């Protein structure tokens, strides 16, 4: 299948999934209601359900799924490691700590989101700071810095949970960390959509350089690539969009690890095709999982639980064929 045809087919599947998700829910939207909405004669509740509740949530799910998948694909190519995910350099642990700290200190949702984004970046800067202390040690020390940063902010998160009010703040922290799109509002979406799209676009523009980096640093330098600045730009873009996913919907695991593998098995290791494919697959996948989370039972299931339950067996299955995508 040609590059244009595969991207067009995946785009069509994503758009169809979005239209289906708009109509599915506790207030089903049938063809007659759609017709009435187009003619402006539908009841107010139908317009509110579609445009105020479901549409922002659906767009957020697509954006978060695409962002996690693209950052995972970029990290895996950059570090030439199939086990790498967006959490490698501590961004998700830092963002989780920031959101918990925000819930502990303030009742303002804006403060929670601001601290979530800020500490996601601080965690990555901490990991890169450790790497800079040992110049010349390369990728290995950067990965170890990420492990140290993740452990540090996970420990700090435990401190926050221990000190939080067990009847009010602690349930809020635990629920948020399990991930959910239930609290997505239009204002939140307007705030995160543009930087998230810019981050995804930046990684797509860097895709040809990521191809060269996957050959090794020495080979990349021999081909005239500025390894240091390309890596900093890619890490900055991946960190930005990963932090914004936590700002939007809490911590959602396994998407950034599993989806790039599926995309790589489908289209191969060329990042010029792999990254847009990962974005489309990730957006569609998370949208479908979110639709299940809000419709399977009377009460909504946190989406992080479902992505883990689906992602773990899926990863076990694709591991058998994962090597094919790195050929």
234-267: pLDDT as tens digits: 988 998 899 899 989 988 988 998 999 899 888 8
CA 273 vs. chain centroid, Å, equals 19
- Whole-number Å distance between alpha carbons of 168 and 51: 31
Confidence of residue 137 (pLDDT cuts 50, 70, 90): low
Q: What is the pTM of this model?
A: 0.89
**pLDDT score of 327 more than 60:** no
Sequence-separated (6 or more) residues with CB below 8 Å from residue 303: 178, 179, 180, 181, 249, 252, 286, 289, 290, 293
**How large a percentage of the chain has pLDDT more than 90?**
41
Percent share of the chain, pLDDT over 70: 95
Nearest Cα residue to 169 out of 91, 242, 112, 227: 112
Q: What is the pLDDT of residue 2?
A: 67
Range in 156-170, 197-211, 290-304, 311-325 the model is least confident about? 311-325
Q: Read off the pLDDT of residues 29-69 as tens digits, 9 standing for 90 and up.
A: 888 888 888 887 878 888 888 888 899 999 999 999 999 99
The half-sphere exposure of 56 on its side-chain side, counting CA atoms within 13 A, is: 20
With 0-12 CB in 10 A as exposed, 13-18 as middle and 19+ as buried, what is 280? buried
Residue 303, pLDDT above cutoff 80? yes
pLDDT at 325 over 60: no
Q: What is the pLDDT of residues 75-130, one digit of tens each?
A: 888 877 777 777 778 888 999 999 899 999 987 888 888 898 899 889 988 988 88
In the numeric block, the tokens 């017709």 are attached to 35
């Amino acid at each position: 299948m040609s590059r244009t045809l595969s991207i067009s087919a995946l785009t069509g599947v994503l758009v169809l999934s979005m239209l289906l998700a708009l109509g599915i829910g506790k207030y089903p939207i049938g063809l007659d209601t759609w017709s009435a909405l187009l003619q402006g004669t539908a009841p107010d509740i139908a317009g509110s359900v579609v445009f105020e509740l479901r549409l922002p949530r659906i767009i957020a799910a697509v954006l978060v799924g695409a962002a996690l998948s693209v950052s995972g694909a970029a990290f895996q190519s950059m570090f030439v490691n199939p086990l790498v995910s967006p959490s490698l350099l501590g961004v998700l642990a830092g963002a989780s700590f920031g959101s918990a700290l925000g819930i502990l200190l303030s009742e303002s949702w804006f403060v929670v989101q601001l601290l979530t984004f800020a500490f996601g970046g601080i965690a990555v800067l901490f990991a890169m700071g450790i790497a800079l202390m040992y110049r010349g040690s390369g990728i290995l020390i950067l990965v170890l810095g990420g492990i140290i940063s993740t452990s540090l902010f996970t420990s700090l998160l435990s401190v926050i949970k221990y000190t939080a009010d067990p009847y009010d703040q602690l349930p809020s922290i635990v629920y948020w960390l399990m991930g959910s799109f239930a609290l997505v509002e239009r204002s939140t979406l307007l705030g995160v959509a543009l930087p998230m799209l810019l981050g995804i676009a930046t990684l797509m523009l860097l895709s040809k350089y990521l191809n060269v980096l996957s050959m090794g640093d020495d080979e990349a330098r021999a081909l005239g690539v500025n390894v240091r600045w390309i890596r900093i730009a890619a890490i900055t873009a991946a960190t930005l969009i990963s932090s914004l996913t936590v700002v939007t919907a809490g911590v959602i695991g396994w998407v950034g690890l599993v989806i790039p593998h599926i995309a790589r098995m489908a289209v191969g290791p060329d990042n010029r095709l792999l990254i847009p494919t990962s974005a489309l697959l990730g957006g569609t996948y998370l949208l479908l999982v979110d639709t299940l989370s809000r419709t399977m039972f009377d009460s909504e299931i946190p989406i992080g639980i479902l992505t883990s339950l689906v992602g773990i067996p899926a990863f076990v299955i694709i591991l058998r064929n994962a090597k094919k995508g790195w050929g």
